[in-house]
Chains A and B, each alone.
Chain A
Amino acid sequence: MKKQDCRGFILEVDLGKRSFSTRETPRDWIEGFLGGRGLGARLMWETKPGVAADDPENPLIFCPGLLNAYPTPGTPRSEMITKSPATRPMEPLHSGSSSITYSNLGGFFGTELKFAGVDALIIKGKAPRPTMLVADFRKGVDIRFEDASDLWGLSSKSTELALRKRLGQNQFKTVYIGPAGEKLVRFASIMHKISRAFARGGGGFVMGSKNLKAIAIRGRAIPAVADYTAYRKAVSRLRDHFKSKKDSDAYQHRLKYASLRSFKGLAPYSGFAVRNFSQGYWEVMLDFHKRASRHWVHENACYACPIPCRKTPVIKDGPFPGHFHDSSHFEHAVMLGSNCGQSDERVIPRLSEACNELGIDVISTGNILGFLMDAKERGLLPEAFCDGIDLRWDNPHAMLKAIEKIGRREGLGDILAQGLGFVAKELGSGVEKFAFESKGLEFPGWNPKGYWPIAISYMTSNRGACHLSGDSMERQNQQAVKDAVGSCFFVRYITSYKILAELVSAVVGSEYDEKGIYEVGDRIYNLEKSFNYREGFRRADDSRLPEALCTEHMKARKGGRTILEKAKFERMLTSYYNKRGWNPRTSQPERKTIERLGLGFVPEKS
C-alpha cells in the first residue's frame, strides 16, 4: 500500500478582512516540530518582532497535538500559542515586547481540529464587532464569520448553552471567552465545555482583543497515518501498557483523587503554597483529597483516556451548597485554598466555578488574592484600595466578590485585572517583594522555598512562572515534546514514552527513537527561547526571583528554616545555560546549538 501522509493543512483566518486561506503544512515542520507547542512556536517565529499582545497582527494560534485524534490513551491535549499579555522583559527591545505564551487544553477541541485536518489554526486581525468563527469541515471547507453581539457579555455556561442552541446539539466543539476575556483581563482564559480551559498565559485577553467570542469546529474523519501496520501495533501496545499499570499506585491515586493527592506528595518538602507562599506546609490540607472526594458524584475523561480525572461534586452543606462542574484540581485547591488561608473543601468548587464562569485563570487569581490578603495582614494595604471588600485570610465571601470584580473589571478589579506585577507596583511601599511572579506571570502553587527545584522551572520557563515546564534541561525537553504530541502531564508515570515514540514514528513516517524525540523537545525549547531573546529577555529576566524568597525565612515541616540562596541559584543558572549551550552572560542560544538543532533560520543578531 502506498505510504500515506499524516499532514493536514494550516488554516489562516483574518478577522478584519473576513477572509481565510489554507496551505499545506511543510513536511519538515511536522518532522521537526511534530505539532502542538512545537508547530505553534515555529509559526510564532514567522511574526515580526515586537508585536504587542493586543495588536491585530499578533496571531492567536491553536495547534492540536500530533496524536490528538488517534485512539491513544492519554494524548488529548491541544495547544494555544500566542504573544503573552502578561510578561515583559526588564529592558524591552520593542514597545510591544513580551514573551511567547502557550497553554494546553484537554477535552475534545484539539481532537476535532485534527478530525477537520487542521494542523494549525491561525487567527489574525481584529473584527470590527463581536464575532464568532464557525468552521465546518464535513463537506469541504466552510468558514463562516457570524455575528456574536448576542453572546457578548455572557458567562461561560450561558455561552455554551447559547452556542448549542445556535449550532445544534452535540456536534460542534467550541472554545469561547467569558466576560473577562472581553474586558481584557490580562490573565483571562479560553474556555471549553464550561470548565476546561486554555487557562494560563492570557489567551482570553488576545481572543478578546480580536473581538472574537467563540470558535466552533466540526471535523469529518480521522487523519491518515504513514505506516498503518506499525500504528495499529503501537496503539494496541499503548492500551495494553495502560491496562498493565492499572494496579499501580500512580494509576489508582489518579483515578481516586485526581491530582489532589499532590498535597501529600509535596508535604515532605514543605512544597506547596500556604498564605501567599509564606509557608510550605499546612497540616489540614493533607487529607484534602479524601475530604473532597466524598462530594464527588460523577467523573469525566478527555478523549480516549481511561482515567476520568475530572470529578463533579454536589456540595450539600457549607456556605455554598449546589452542584459544580469541577473540583478535582490541585492547583485550584492550593491557589484558591491554602494560598488564601482556606482549607474548606466545600468552598473551593464554588470559587473555581466563579473563575470558570468569568473565564479567568484560577492560578493567577488565587495568587493575586493571596498577595492582597498577605499585604493586608502586614498592614501594607490601604483601606481605600480594598473597595469595601474585607480581604482577610479565609474569607470565601470576600474572595467571591473580588473574583466577580476582576472578571468584570469593576472598581478594585480594574487594577487587579492588570496582573500581579502591576498591582504590586501600584501599591508600592515595600510590598513588591511579596509579589510572587516571574517575568510577569504569577507563581502556581508549588512553593520554591520548600521544593527548590521548581525555582529553576519558574526562572527558566519560556512563558513565565510555570510548574509544568520542568526543573532541568532533560525534563524541559521532555515536557516540550509531550506538549507537541498532546500527551498529558497527568499520566506521566503511567504512559510509556518508548511506545509514544513508536507511535509518532508510525504516524509521521520517519524514525524517532526515545533520544530522537527529546531532540525535538530541545529544538522547540530553543526556538521559544530565541523568540524571547529577540524580544529582549536576557539572563537578568531569568534570575529575577521575588525578593521575599531569598529574605523571608520559612519554617519547614522537618524543622529548621529554609530560604533560597541567591548566589546558589545564580550558579545553578550558569550551569543550566552551559548545559543548554546558551551564552551564560546573555542567555542567548549559541550558534552551534542553533545549527545542531537545524534552526538555521534564527539570525545571529537580533
Chain B
Amino acid sequence: MTVGATVAGLGGCRLLSDSAEAETNVLRAIRVNHDKCTGCRICEQVCDEFNHKLTVDGIEQAGPGDPHRSLITIHSYPEPYYVAWACLGCPDLPCVRACDYYADRLEHRKALHVDQHTGEIRLAKDWCAGCEKCIEACESRGGNVLRWDKLSYIAGGCNLCHGDPQCVKECPVEAIEFIEVDRKMEIKTRNPDAAYGEGIRHLYRIDSK
C-alpha cells in the first residue's frame, strides 16, 4: 500500500532519514492505523519515558511517563475514535517559520531548525527564548505534537527514538507500525480532525460536525 495515500483510517506518517542511510532513497517512518487505536495513551507515556530520561540516585532512568511532554499525541473526539499523531514534517515547516530567534544568522539557522543530516526538527537550546510560538504554530495546524519542555529545554518533533520507536514496541493493539518509505514520496499534510472525519465516515457511516 502506498504510504501517505489518503486511505481512510491511515495517516500520521513522519519521515526521517537514518543518517547511515542518508545516501539511499529509503526513509524510515511510523504509520498509525487509527481504526485500531484504542486511545489508551500508552504511546505517549513510553515516548516521554524514552526521550526525557532522568538521572536519579546516580542512575540514568526512564522518564516519569508524562503524556504532556510526549512527541506523539492522542487526539480524542466525541465519537469513540482516537487519532494518534506524530510530527509529519510539514513541507512548509510552520513551526520553524514561526521561530524568531537565530542560533546562527550567517547560516540562517534558527533556534528551532531542521537538522541538515537527519531531517529532525531540533532546538538549539541556548538560543531558545521560550516564546512558545513554534508550539502555537503547530497547534494552529491541529497537530499539537511539538513540545517545549520548561525543565530541559527540549523542543522538537518525533525523532523516531533514534531508530527504535518505543510507541511501536509498546502499543498493545499494534496500531503503530515502523515502515520504510521512498524518499521522493510526497508528504500529504492532513490534520487529525480530517483523519477523524474520514475514520468515522467509514467506520460508523456518519459525518463529523
Interface residues of A (CB under 8 A from B): 1, 70-71, 73, 108, 115, 157, 160-161, 164, 169-170, 193-195, 219-222, 225, 228-229, 232, 235-236, 297-308, 310, 312, 314, 323, 325-326
Question: With A169-B193, A170-B144, A305-B40 in contact, is A297–B173 under 8 Å at CB?
Answer: no
B163 at the interface (CB under 8 A from A): no
Q: Of A1, A221, A310, A323, which is within 8 A of B66 by CB?
A: A221
Please state if B78 and A160 are interface contacts (CB–CB under 8 Å). Answer: yes
Nearest chain B CB to A137 CB, angstrom units: 11
- In B58-103, the 8 Å CB interface with A consists of 59, 61-62, 64-69, 75-76, 78-82
**Alpha-carbon distance between A194 and B77 when the two chains are bound, in angstroms:** 11
- Interface residues of B: mostly helix, strand, loop or mixed? loop
Nearest chain B CB to A103 CB, angstrom units: 22
**Alpha-carbon distance between A71 and B41 when the two chains are bound, in angstroms:** 9
Please state if B65 and A70 are interface contacts (CB–CB under 8 Å). Answer: yes
Please state if B78 and A161 are interface contacts (CB–CB under 8 Å). Answer: yes
Please state if B209 and A71 are interface contacts (CB–CB under 8 Å). Answer: no
Please state if A310 and B40 are interface contacts (CB–CB under 8 Å). Answer: no
Please state if B40 and A221 are interface contacts (CB–CB under 8 Å). Answer: no
Interface residues of B (CB under 8 A from A): 35, 38-42, 45-46, 49, 54, 56-57, 59, 61-62, 64-69, 75-76, 78-82, 142, 144, 172-173, 193, 203-206, 209
Please state if A299 and B38 are interface contacts (CB–CB under 8 Å). Answer: yes
Q: Would you list 20 pairs from A and B whose C-beta atoms are within 8 A, ordered by A residue?
A: A1-B57, A70-B65, A71-B42, A71-B45, A71-B46, A115-B68, A161-B209, A170-B75, A193-B78, A194-B78, A219-B68, A220-B68, A235-B65, A298-B35, A298-B80, A299-B173, A303-B40, A304-B40, A306-B172, A323-B205
Chain B residues closer than 8 Å to A236, beta-carbon distance: 62
Of chain A, the residue at the smallest CB distance from B173 is A308
Q: Lowest 4 CB-CB distances: which A-B pairs, in order? A: A71-B65, A306-B172, A71-B45, A301-B40
Q: Of A194, A297, A302, which is within 8 A of B40 by CB?
A: A302
For B40, B68, B203, B204, the residue with the greatest tally of chain A CB atoms inside 10 Å of its CB is B40
Question: With A312-B80, A323-B204 in contact, is A222–B172 under 8 Å at CB?
Answer: no
Please state if B75 and A169 are interface contacts (CB–CB under 8 Å). Answer: yes
Please state if B59 and A229 are interface contacts (CB–CB under 8 Å). Answer: yes
**Alpha-carbon distance between A306 and B38 when the two chains are bound, in angstroms:** 9
Please state if B78 and A298 are interface contacts (CB–CB under 8 Å). Answer: no
Please state if B61 and A232 are interface contacts (CB–CB under 8 Å). Answer: yes
Chain A residues closer than 8 Å to B46, beta-carbon distance: 71
Nearest chain A CB to B208 CB, angstrom units: 10
Chain B residues closer than 8 Å to A225, beta-carbon distance: 64
For A70, A160, A225, A306, the residue with the greatest tally of chain B CB atoms inside 10 Å of its CB is A306
Q: Of A108, A229, A304, A323, which is within 8 A of B45 by CB?
A: A304
Please state if B80 and A222 are interface contacts (CB–CB under 8 Å). Answer: no
Question: With A300-B39, A301-B38, A302-B40 in contact, is A222–B66 under 8 Å at CB?
Answer: yes
Chain B residues closer than 8 Å to A194, beta-carbon distance: 78
Please state if A228 and B39 are interface contacts (CB–CB under 8 Å). Answer: no
**Alpha-carbon distance between A161 and B206 when the two chains are bound, in angstroms:** 15
**Alpha-carbon distance between A228 and B49 when the two chains are bound, in angstroms:** 13
Please state if B56 and A229 are interface contacts (CB–CB under 8 Å). Answer: yes
Please state if B56 and A228 are interface contacts (CB–CB under 8 Å). Answer: yes
Nearest chain A CB to B45 CB, angstrom units: 4
Nearest chain A CB to B53 CB, angstrom units: 10
Chain A residues closer than 8 Å to B142, beta-carbon distance: 169
Of chain A, the residue at the smallest CB distance from B81 is A298
**Alpha-carbon distance between A323 and B45 when the two chains are bound, in angstroms:** 31
Chain B residues closer than 8 Å to A305, beta-carbon distance: 40
Please state if A232 and B80 are interface contacts (CB–CB under 8 Å). Answer: no
Nearest chain B CB to A507 CB, angstrom units: 11
Q: Of A170, A228, A299, which is within 8 A of B54 by CB?
A: A228
Q: What number of residue pairs across chains A and B have CB atoms under 8 A from each other?
A: 95
**Alpha-carbon distance between A307 and B42 when the two chains are bound, in angstroms:** 11
Please state if A229 and B61 are interface contacts (CB–CB under 8 Å). Answer: yes
Please state if B64 and A222 are interface contacts (CB–CB under 8 Å). Answer: yes
**Alpha-carbon distance between A348 and B25 when the two chains are bound, in angstroms:** 53
Of chain A, the residue at the smallest CB distance from B54 is A228
**Alpha-carbon distance between A164 and B78 when the two chains are bound, in angstroms:** 9
Of chain B, the residue at the smallest CB distance from A164 is B78
Chain A residues closer than 8 Å to B41, beta-carbon distance: 303-304
Q: Of A222, A310, A312, which is within 8 A of B65 by CB?
A: A222
Question: With A228-B61, A308-B40 in contact, is A221–B68 under 8 Å at CB?
Answer: yes
**Alpha-carbon distance between A234 and B75 when the two chains are bound, in angstroms:** 28
Nearest chain B CB to A105 CB, angstrom units: 15
Nearest chain A CB to B148 CB, angstrom units: 13
Chain A residues closer than 8 Å to B172, beta-carbon distance: 301, 306-308
Please state if B206 and A323 are interface contacts (CB–CB under 8 Å). Answer: yes
New A-B contacts (20) at CB < 8 Å, excluding given A219-B68, A222-B68, A304-B42 = A1-B57, A108-B76, A115-B68, A170-B76, A170-B144, A221-B69, A222-B64, A222-B66, A228-B61, A229-B59, A297-B203, A298-B80, A298-B81, A299-B38, A299-B173, A301-B40, A302-B40, A314-B203, A323-B205, A323-B206
Chain A residues closer than 8 Å to B56, beta-carbon distance: 1, 228-229
Nearest chain A CB to B199 CB, angstrom units: 9
Of chain A, the residue at the smallest CB distance from B66 is A222
Please state if B57 and A229 are interface contacts (CB–CB under 8 Å). Answer: yes
Please state if A71 and B49 are interface contacts (CB–CB under 8 Å). Answer: yes
**Alpha-carbon distance between A222 and B49 when the two chains are bound, in angstroms:** 12
Nearest chain B CB to A381 CB, angstrom units: 38
Of chain B, the residue at the smallest CB distance from A170 is B75
**Alpha-carbon distance between A164 and B80 when the two chains are bound, in angstroms:** 15
Nearest chain A CB to B9 CB, angstrom units: 10
Nearest chain A CB to B40 CB, angstrom units: 4
Chain A residues closer than 8 Å to B203, beta-carbon distance: 297-298, 314
Chain A residues closer than 8 Å to B206, beta-carbon distance: 323
For B35, B68, B79, B80, the residue with the greatest tally of chain A CB atoms inside 10 Å of its CB is B80
Chain A residues closer than 8 Å to B69, beta-carbon distance: 221
**Alpha-carbon distance between A304 and B64 when the two chains are bound, in angstroms:** 13
Nearest chain A CB to B48 CB, angstrom units: 8
Chain B residues closer than 8 Å to A307, beta-carbon distance: 172
**Alpha-carbon distance between A297 and B173 when the two chains are bound, in angstroms:** 14
Q: Of B59, B75, B80, which is within 8 A of A300 by CB?
A: B80
Nearest chain B CB to A220 CB, angstrom units: 7
Chain A residues closer than 8 Å to B173, beta-carbon distance: 299, 308
Nearest chain A CB to B203 CB, angstrom units: 6
Of chain A, the residue at the smallest CB distance from B206 is A323
Nearest chain B CB to A415 CB, angstrom units: 33
Please state if A300 and B62 are interface contacts (CB–CB under 8 Å). Answer: no
**Alpha-carbon distance between A138 and B170 when the two chains are bound, in angstroms:** 28
Question: With A169-B75, A170-B76 in contact, is A314–B57 under 8 Å at CB?
Answer: no
Chain B residues closer than 8 Å to A219, beta-carbon distance: 68
